[in-house]
Structure 1
Amino acid sequence: MVTWPWQRERRPVRTLRVRSRGDFGDVRRVDFEELAPDIDTYLGQAAYLQLGYFETLSQLIAPTPELSHKESLSRAAGAALLKHRELVEVIRSRGDDPLDIMLPFREPLDAFRRATHGARPLETMLSVHITAGMLDDFYLALSASYGATGNRVAQILTADDDRQALVKIITDAIAADEEWRDLLSLWGRRLVGDTLLIARGALRPQTLDAAEEKRVEPVFTDLLAGHSRRMAAIGLDA
């Protein structure tokens, strides 16, 4: 069983807020405290996730026959790598070693990436689009808890991710063969549980009680709503 870094030591508490994508001014504060992770956990997870998305997308390029699809995958992979590098620079600017900050999350996040890797390339493309979208939203919601550093992270995460290129490949495949619709709808629904576990695991070590669950609910309601919008935009049932 993996012991997450925040389960080993009690860190200073943070306040979690929800902000709209691209909005770095007014934010809607969610009424709960002591739930946001320490900043090393926040930055380490965010940076390593982007590196994982780069690796996953890069691995899809070689076996993909169509040149246009190779180019689309390379753009999405490049965008993930750029975000990773910029998050690494945020870590360095704080005087920390990025490898030290990311290393505690390598094992659990690699396990997450394996669990959400599809048997077919289209499933894996959908995995990246859905899980990266949900977790970007989650880290944006957390960003208001970390002052200027959080603002920098929010700006990085809201930059162009080029994942619409993946959506185009998926929608073209569905248009050519309707059997993909049901298969990918089912796969997309499966991704939700694994992704929410990553988000929930980052909040705090203890199991949430009923009152804390109620205070957390708006954040996860927003994540699920974003998931439904992404699935609907592809023509899939969420």
Structure 2
Amino acid sequence: MVNWFWKRKPQRRTLTLRSRGDNGGAQRVDFAELAPELNRFLGQAAYLQLGYFETLSRGIRGTAELARKEALSRAAGAALDKHRGIVEVIADQGEDPTEVMLPFRENLDDFRRKTIGERQEETLLAVYLTAGMLDDFYLALASSYGETGERVAEILRQPDAGDEIVSIIQQTIESDSEWRSLLSMRGRRLVGDTLLVCRDALRPGRLDADDKRIEPVYTELMGAHARRMDAMGLAS
């Protein structure tokens, strides 16, 4: 008997979301066919890291303080290393990395423009928080792609020098108490746009029918976001 492809039982995929520094107790969420095709996953993940590198590099040029330049150079270098690592994975698949990333350039550049603040400290906060949420999300998605996903997960787990940005934010808050409320508000506003990027990362065409299954993932991401905010002394 013919086993028609549209009647085959879909493969079940499980996403595990884990906040940075948390080695256990992660919530497991079953998605079933919502994880995107491999090139969509790789292209978005690679271009996001390139965008963070570009934003942080501009920050280096935009500050005269040597210590801050050094801190931002380490954070930018970490983002570039992740980008290069994922690009290498794409190339090993026999694909052109530029072609794989290109379909996502416009939307992700628009996301980055929305998160850039009027002041450098606002932009650095946005980089730290959005990169944290999206690295968590893509790290979870990586479990859907076998050995290739394991390679990407290893890349995303590399140190990101986020503590350098946290130190700058904390020094900023200590220098002027008005920064605390401003950055707290900024951090809360970032959540919606970042969750939209997560939604766009999933397989198109099924999302409207599967919002209830996606909701626990959003809850986990927002929980990890709140913990990052609290660790910096900002109200979430």
TM-score of the superposition, structure 2-length normalised? 0.89
Deviation at 1:187, TM superposition (A): 0.5
SS state of the match for residue 145, structure 2?
A: helix
Q: Distance in 2 between matches of 1:32 and 1:135?
A: 17
Deviation at 1:28, TM superposition (A): 6.0
- Residue matched to 1:60: 59
Q: Distance in 2 between matches of 1:125 and 1:27?
A: 27
SS state of the match for residue 30, structure 1?
A: strand
Q: Which runs of 5 or more residues in structure 2 are unaligned?
A: 1-9
Q: Distance in 2 between matches of 1:28 and 1:54?
A: 30
1:7-22 alignment, distance < 5 Å: 15-20=13-18
Deviation at 1:141, TM superposition (A): 1.0
- Residue matched to 1:137: 136
Q: Distance in 2 between matches of 1:27 and 1:194?
A: 24
- Residue matched to 1:4: none
Deviation at 1:216, TM superposition (A): 1.7
1:104-140 C-alpha deviation (Å, 9 max, x unpaired): 1111100000011011000000010000000000001
Larger Rg: 2
- Residue matched to 1:86: 85
1:85-110 C-alpha deviation (Å, 9 max, x unpaired): 01100001111110010011111100
Deviation at 1:33, TM superposition (A): 0.8
| Cα RMSD for the two superposed structures | 2.2
Contact 1:13–1:38 (CA under 8 A) maintained in structure 2: no
- Residue matched to 1:162: 161
Contact 2:17–2:220 (CA under 8 A) maintained in structure 1: no
Q: Distance in 1 between matches of 2:73 and 2:132?
A: 18
Closer, same or farther in 2 for the Cα pair 1:202/1:82, shift >3 Å? same
Contact 1:13–1:37 (CA under 8 A) maintained in structure 2: no
- Residue matched to 2:213: 215
Closer, same or farther in 2 for the Cα pair 1:181/1:146, shift >3 Å? same
Q: Distance in 2 between matches of 1:59 and 1:39?
A: 31
Contact 2:34–2:206 (CA under 8 A) maintained in structure 1: no
- Residue matched to 1:8: none
- Residue matched to 1:34: 33
Deviation at 1:209, TM superposition (A): 4.5
Closer, same or farther in 2 for the Cα pair 1:73/1:16, shift >3 Å? same
Deviation at 1:30, TM superposition (A): 2.0
Q: Distance in 1 between matches of 2:142 and 2:106?
A: 24
Letter in 1 for 2:159: D
- Residue matched to 1:46: 45
Closer, same or farther in 2 for the Cα pair 1:61/1:27, shift >3 Å? closer
Contact 2:139–2:156 (CA under 8 A) maintained in structure 1: yes
Closer, same or farther in 2 for the Cα pair 1:191/1:23, shift >3 Å? closer
**Overall identity of the aligned pairs, in %:** 61
1:49-87 C-alpha deviation (Å, 9 max, x unpaired): 000000000001122121100100000000000110011
Deviation at 1:31, TM superposition (A): 2.6
- Residue matched to 2:190: 191
Closer, same or farther in 2 for the Cα pair 1:81/1:173, shift >3 Å? same
Contact 1:16–1:35 (CA under 8 A) maintained in structure 2: no
Letter in 2 for 1:186: M
SS state of the match for residue 54, structure 1?
A: helix
Deviation at 1:201, TM superposition (A): 1.4
- Residue matched to 1:6: none
- Residue matched to 1:236: 234
- Residue matched to 1:9: none
Q: Which runs of 5 or more residues in structure 1 are unaligned?
A: 1-11
